[in-house]
């Protein structure tokens, strides 16, 4: 599948353009310079063809952290290397001769040289052409001095010009595809969606780097370096389904959340929990489990997701504070920095997803329930009128069907349901997933 990288200076609207092209708000949009600092991937379908757009961190001319500026530049170079086409995004402006005009800065020219240095085909995208007057600024002769043959005026805010841009993109790839090359259309296998959540600075980005095998995320000791959900698609080392890993912004107590980017990042992280199949709760093995960690577990349970407890930094301690009140969630001790036990996470994810989708035959459930009734010495005259069947998966959902008279008399109590759940876990492997059992009238 063809990849298109969005490159440009800070706050020229790359993230807004990215969100518009993929028709999903995956990148955080803000007036704060440098909001997007990591590579962000998204699918776009146009005229029956699929592309992958790569949103890069905006290059910042005056960055308080020199190291962060260098790493952002490295991410852009990496995106260029991955891309089949580059969109160099600049904010449109009138000619220098007009009263509103200003010349293209040396810094913009430097970015342009960086884009063209790799010889990957590149187009100049003039963003924020929100009205006819601004679109007329396309005639500014300054644009030609950057050396781009293909120049487009668009508005990410209202969508103007994007249809023509995508039409030309499809035509470009069709024209430049060799007869032996694969078509743009490819079968997309539904991946296992995995979220990484946890408090700030527990090592989520470092863990993602270890899982993906490359320094894709910008890792820093400063909390909230990762500003929003950043996705990466991986081959599953232990199964057939690929993994879509999402490194979310650090989550901390609401009382400490500042308004603005961090608040938006936390909100998006919670949204990703809802979209996930499996959640990796990353915990600092050197610290005690606190109420916030427990609240995150409760949130995962509330949204009925698979859960794996990942105790990071085990190279710094021999006795992490284990969580015992989630008996169904597997625990693993790792060191993301030393890449210790990383491959075992793939196995746990695959197992958890398989268990979430496990289906039990009706006859097997009937035999199971009959055995439990006999072993626990429950009233057989009552329980012979009750059946157990599975209604759904992900998570597995079961129903005890009973006559209305039994339900009204409350002859099935919560303790018995808990016993059935416990016995089901002994009988079948449900590690990593919740089990739900309801009572239903026949």
For the stretch 319-352, pLDDT in tens is 777 666 688 999 999 999 999 999 999 999 999 9
In the chain, CATH 3.30.300.20 sits at 362-441
**C-beta atoms surrounding 34 within 10 Å:** 20
Cα-based torsion angle of the residue sequence 180, 6, 164, 84 in order, rounded to the nearest 10 degrees: -10
User: Which residues face 195 on adjacent strands?
Assistant: 246, 279
> What are the structure tokens assigned to 133, written together?
């007057």
pLDDT category, 247, cuts 50, 70, 90? Answer: low
Predicted confidence at residue 261, as pLDDT, reads 53
CATH code: domain 362-441 is: 3.30.300.20
Predicted confidence at residue 341, as pLDDT, reads 95
Strands 397-402 and 387-392: antiparallel
CA distance 250 to 122: 35
Is pLDDT above 70 for 27?
no
Predicted confidence at residue 323, as pLDDT, reads 65
Alpha carbon separation from 304 to 22, 331, 433 (Å, rounded): 28, 18, 8
In the chain, CATH 3.40.50.300 sits at 2-175, 192-355
Is pLDDT above 60 for 240?
yes
Predicted confidence at residue 340, as pLDDT, reads 94
Three-state secondary-structure class, residue 118: coil
pLDDT in tens, 33-86: 444 445 677 888 898 888 888 887 666 555 444 554 666 677 778 888 889 999
The CATH architecture assigned to 2-175 reads: 3-Layer(aba) Sandwich (3.40)
CA distance 400 to 241: 33
Q: Which of 136, 184, 143 is nearest to 160 (CA)?
A: 136
Buried b (16+ CB within 10 A) or exposed e, 274-305: eebbbbbbbbbbbeebeeebeebbebbeeeeb
217 vs 120: which has the higher pLDDT: 120
CATH code: domain 192-355 is: 3.40.50.300
Three-state secondary-structure class, residue 56: coil
């Amino acid at each position: 599948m063809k990849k298109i990288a969005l490159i440009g200076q800070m706050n020229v609207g790359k993230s807004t353009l990215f969100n518009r092209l993929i028709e999903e708000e995956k990148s955080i949009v803000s007036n704060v310079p440098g909001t997007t600092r990591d590579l962000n991937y998204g699918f776009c379908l146009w005229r029956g063809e699929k592309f992958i757009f790569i949103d890069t961190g905006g290059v910042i001319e005056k960055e308080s952290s020199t190291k962060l500026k260098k790493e952002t530049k490295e991410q852009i170079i990496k995106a260029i290397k991955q891309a089949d086409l580059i969109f160099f995004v600049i904010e449109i402006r009138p000619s220098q001769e007009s009263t509103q005009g200003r010349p293209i800065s040396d810094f913009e020219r430097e970015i342009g040289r960086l884009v063209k240095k790799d010889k990957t085909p590149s187009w100049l995208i003039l963003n924020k052409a929100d009205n006819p007057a601004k679109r007329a600024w396309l005639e500014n002769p300054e644009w030609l001095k950057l050396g781009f043959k293909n120049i487009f005026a668009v508005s990410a805010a209202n969508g103007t010009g994007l249809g023509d841009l995508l039409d030309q993109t499809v035509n470009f790839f069709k024209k430049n595809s060799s007869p032996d090359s694969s078509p743009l259309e490819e079968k997309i296998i539904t991946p296992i969606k995995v979220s990484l959540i946890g408090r700030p600075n527990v090592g989520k980005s470092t863990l993602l780097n270890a899982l993906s095998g490359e320094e894709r995320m910008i890792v820093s000791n400063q909390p909230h370096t990762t500003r929003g959900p950043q996705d990466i698609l991986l081959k599953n080392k232990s199964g057939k389904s690929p993994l879509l890993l999402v490194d979310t912004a650090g989550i901390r107590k609401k009382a400490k959340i500042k308004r603005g980017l961090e608040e938006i990042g936390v909100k998006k992280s919670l949204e990703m929990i809802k979209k996930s199949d499996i959640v990796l709760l990353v915990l600092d093995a050197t610290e005690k489990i606190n109420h916030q960690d427990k609240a995150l577990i409760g949130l995962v349970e509330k949204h009925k997701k698979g859960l794996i407890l990942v105790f990071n930094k085990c190279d710094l301690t021999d006795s992490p504070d284990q969580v015992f009140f989630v008996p169904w969630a597997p625990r693993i001790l790792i060191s993301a920095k030393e890449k210790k036990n990383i491959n075992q996470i793939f196995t746990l994810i695959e197992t958890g997803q398989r268990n979430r989708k496990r289906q039990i035959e009706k006859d097997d459930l009937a035999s199971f329930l009959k055995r439990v009734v006999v072993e626990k010495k429950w009233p057989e005259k009552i329980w012979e009128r009750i059946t157990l069947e599975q209604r759904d998966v992900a998570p597995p959902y079961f129903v005890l069907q009973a006559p209305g008279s039994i339900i009204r008399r409350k002859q099935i109590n919560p303790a018995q349901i808990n016993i059935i759940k416990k016995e089901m876990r002994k009988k079948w492997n449900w590690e990593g997933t919740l089990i739900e059992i309801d009572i239903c009238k026949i």
